[in-house]
Amino acid sequence: MSSLHPRAGRRCHNAVNPLHSTVYFSPDYARELALIGVEDGGAAYFAGRAAALGAVGPGTVTASFYNFSHELIARHLPAVWDTASPAEVLDARSRAVDATLRRLLGDDTASSPEMAEAARLALRATEACTRHARPLYAAHADLPVPEEPHLALWHAATLLREHRGDGHLAALLSAGLDPLEALVSHTATGKGMSPRWILASRGWRRSDWEAASDRLRERGLLDGDGELTEAGTALRAELEEHTDRLDLAPYEHLGADGVARLTELGRGFLLAAAAAGAFPDGLTGKD
């Protein structure tokens, strides 16, 4: 039996994961990728998140990212690797992470004892992550750990994010939700991305969204107003619990006190980053 609260790992993830996400919304990221010739925002995102996998084609990224349109990915991959190699993209991403976290949190916080403590705790948690059936995690686990505390924390946050994310995809498959059904049902919880943001960034059309909604209604998971039914709410809850079970090992390894402390530190960094404008308006919600 685990000594952790059943949702302790999820709470820690929700505190630490957004710190990873800040870079992909950052003007520093767009600038660094543009400096190596990757000027299109979509190409920059796919290249930056997939570079650890090597010079992969669209099929690999569609499989490992799950909720993006394959046609959108194929518009940018593998062509982006003719502009910049995966190694060049990873270097540019690292520079963007450095600039972003220093801008959002300040130089003093980036090099603070609290940042170093958070990095140590997060890295300790990753010691119990597993590579099998987790391609994005496994690819990033092969990268070296940076020395500077804020970069080390970002690296560890990335490992924890992708470890949980890869497991979540297994849970989605088990639940029988295709990529857009997963997005529509998550948005219906009120905690997912807004439809406008999804349609602008994931390569889907409004007609695709409506078709996915119809399929969920046929399964009794959405009602006529697009709200989750009792069965839909239960399915989304089980999805998260399934993901928690698949992602339990790193947090059990860290222990209850370590998880609580990492959650506390992560929330502090997240609140500071959000107050500094890390995330765009209208990112989440049902509208």
pLDDT tens-digit profile of 89-100? Answer: 999 999 999 999
268: tokens are 């502090």
Neighbours of 285 (CB within 10 A): 14
* Cβ within 8 Å of residue 208, ≥6 positions away: 69, 180
Q: Can you give the pLDDT at residue 2?
A: 63
Q: How many CA atoms lie within 13 A of 287 on its CB side?
A: 2
The per-residue pLDDT of the chain, averaged, comes to 96
Q: Region 254-279: what's the mean pLDDT?
A: 97
Q: Region 242-269: what's the mean pLDDT?
A: 97
Q: Region 106-119: what's the mean pLDDT?
A: 98
Confidence of residue 267 (pLDDT cuts 50, 70, 90): very high
Confidence of residue 165 (pLDDT cuts 50, 70, 90): very high
Q: What is the DSSP letter of 127?
A: T
Q: Can you give the pLDDT at residue 286?
A: 84
Closest CA to 246 of 132, 120, 142: 132
- Percentage with pLDDT > 90 across the chain: 95
Q: Can you give the pLDDT at residue 57?
A: 98
Question: What CA–CA distances, in Å, run from 100 to 81, 140, 160, 277?
Answer: 24, 20, 20, 11
38: tokens are 């990757």
Q: What span, in angstroms and rounded, lies between the C-alpha atoms of 62 and 274?
A: 29
Q: What span, in angstroms and rounded, lies between the C-alpha atoms of 29 and 20?
A: 12
pLDDT tens-digit profile of 172-203? Answer: 999 999 999 999 999 999 999 999 999 999 99
pLDDT beyond 90 at 283: no
Q: How many CA atoms lie within 13 A of 227 on its CB side?
A: 3
Residue whose token pair is 């370590």: 258
pLDDT tens-digit profile of 119-162? Answer: 999 999 999 999 999 999 999 999 999 999 999 999 999 999 99
pTM to 2 decimals? 0.96
Q: Region 253-267: what's the mean pLDDT?
A: 97
pLDDT beyond 80 at 254: yes
66 close to 172: Cβ distance less than 8 angstroms: yes
pLDDT beyond 70 at 228: yes
Residue 228's DSSP bridge partners are 222
Q: Can you give the pLDDT at residue 205?
A: 96
Q: Which H/E stretch holds residue 141? A: helix 135-141
The alpha carbon dihedral of 167, 173, 177, 179 has a sign of positive
Q: Can you give the pLDDT at residue 3?
A: 75
Is residue 222 classed as helix, strand or coil in its secondary structure?
strand
pLDDT tens-digit profile of 17-45? Answer: 999 999 999 999 999 999 999 999 999 99
64 close to 135: Cβ distance less than 8 angstroms: yes
